[in-house]
Chain A
Amino acid sequence: MFRLRNEVAAQRILDSIRKEDVNLRFMHVCGTHQDTLVRFGLDPMLREVGIEIRQGPGCPVCVTTTAEVANAIALAEAGRTIAVFGDMLKVPTPIGSLGDAKARGHDVRIVYSVEDAVRLSSEVKHMVFMGIGFETTSPTTAAVMVEKLPDNFSVYSCHRLLPPALHAIINMGEFRIDGLIEPGHVSAIIGVDPYQVFSTKYGIPQVVTGFEPLDLLMAVHMLVKQIKEGRAQVENEYGRLVKKEGNPKAIKLLERVFRPVDSAWRGFPMIPQSAYDLKEEFDDHNARLVHEDVLKDRPPVEEEHRGCRCGEVLRGIIESHECPAFGKGCTPRYPMGPCMVSREGGCNIAFRYQGKM
């Protein structure tokens, strides 16, 4: 929680924003930002001073498509061991969730790191690691790919790239974006430069920021200042972690291991060059190829659960509580969509901290 001095600082920042007398709408793309905004009650405080902040497609579990989850389930049903990050387990699909598959006796393992999956390979016949996540996570997958790997280990890469999604959401133009709050940990890897185009081409002010309440308030303050001064730039509030050039070692690894491919995201039919598949050199460990026989026979699934509006939540068009199912048919215990499953999903966060809204 806020330390006293922080509370004073927060109030000062809010006061100075209030004086500007603005009515602005910003977007961030990070579940951890959303958590900070809601947990510390910043969201209502900011609304009071004329700032509305929406979460865009910044929740890796949420943007993973139903088809991808269904593929993982199909692999498990076909006797492959699937290793996933915990948040994936309860994502519902028309053929159930990975958790349901596990309950039926199929081998689904929760791992904390891709290295756990590599280690577990010695215990099983076929190990498939489902790699999800943005540029914060994809370098960890890349790091193991360049090491000596067990023959029975493969990666089902569902990794996504963040900047193409920003392009998509800006171009869709479904609502006004007065400023972008860029995610600190993705930026720690990719640096500041990939965002420049959104300022130069679209005139959108941007601030890369961290995850303390004061980081976010500072970011808003800096965005308001840019707007008042008629500037549109990428500023970095999170200099204690994010360097302009990012993490060159990680970037090099990403380039060595992955190639960008077109991909659907939940809520987005197709975003060009927005996902990472493994390069040819890694064909022997690419689950899409190694287990092609299973994947090609999987019956098609309907992408969105009837009544679930996750896609719109991820595009920032509606807020979670505007979904009629929120807190009624859909709760973290009985989720209808991934936005209620993942601890980074807008619906889950809104539900958990409901008292603070």
Chain B
Amino acid sequence: MCLAVPGKVTSIDGNQADVDFGGVVRKVNVSLVEATVGEWVVVHAGFAIEKMDEEEAKETLELWNDLLDQEEEL
């Protein structure tokens, strides 16, 4: 139920947007977010519930990598 899948917004028309899920494009309601074309959103039950922050995504990866490096030093 709370499963939500990330996809990239390819076009917007009012509340409806085309979102590309790795090649499969679906209509998604974007009224809950302020999304623009090219941004990543996470979609649940036909609605984008939040935007995915690319900078933060990178930071998460860095966090994981940092942890790896730290442990490597031990």
Contact = CB atoms under 8 A, between A and B. Distances in A.
Interface in A65-85: 85
Contacts of A337: none
A116 B68 CA distance: 46
B56 to A, nearest CB: 4
Given A9-B68, A133-B1, A250-B32, A188 B50 contact: yes
B40 to A, nearest CB: 9
B2 A247 contact: no
B49 interface: yes
**Max chain B CB contacts within 10 Å: which of A85, A136, A186, A221?**
A136
Interface in A33-74: 59-61
B1 A240 contact: no
Contacts of B64: 9, 214, 218
Interface residues of A, number: 48
Contacts of A240: 52-54, 56-57, 59-60
A113 to B, nearest CB: 3
Interface stretch (A12-20, A263-271, A292-300): A12-20
A132 interface: yes
Contacts of B54: 240
Interface residues of B, number: 29
A177 interface: no
A143 B45 CA distance: 12
A185 B32 contact: no
Interface string A220-255: 010000000000000001111111000101100100
Contacts of A15: 71
A188 B42 contact: yes
Nearest to A33: B2
B67 A13 contact: yes
A140 B45 contact: yes
Interface of B: 1-4, 29, 31-34, 42, 44-47, 49-50, 52-54, 56-57, 59-60, 63-64, 67-68, 71-72
Interface of A: 8-9, 12-13, 15-16, 30-32, 59-61, 85, 87, 112-116, 132-134, 136-137, 139-140, 143, 183, 185-186, 188-189, 214, 218, 221, 237-243, 247, 249-250, 253, 342, 344
11 contacts: A59-B1, A114-B45, A134-B1, A140-B32, A188-B50, A189-B50, A218-B64, A241-B42, A243-B50, A342-B1, A344-B3
Given A31-B3, A240-B56, 6 more contacts: A85-B1, A136-B4, A140-B32, A188-B42, A238-B60, A247-B49
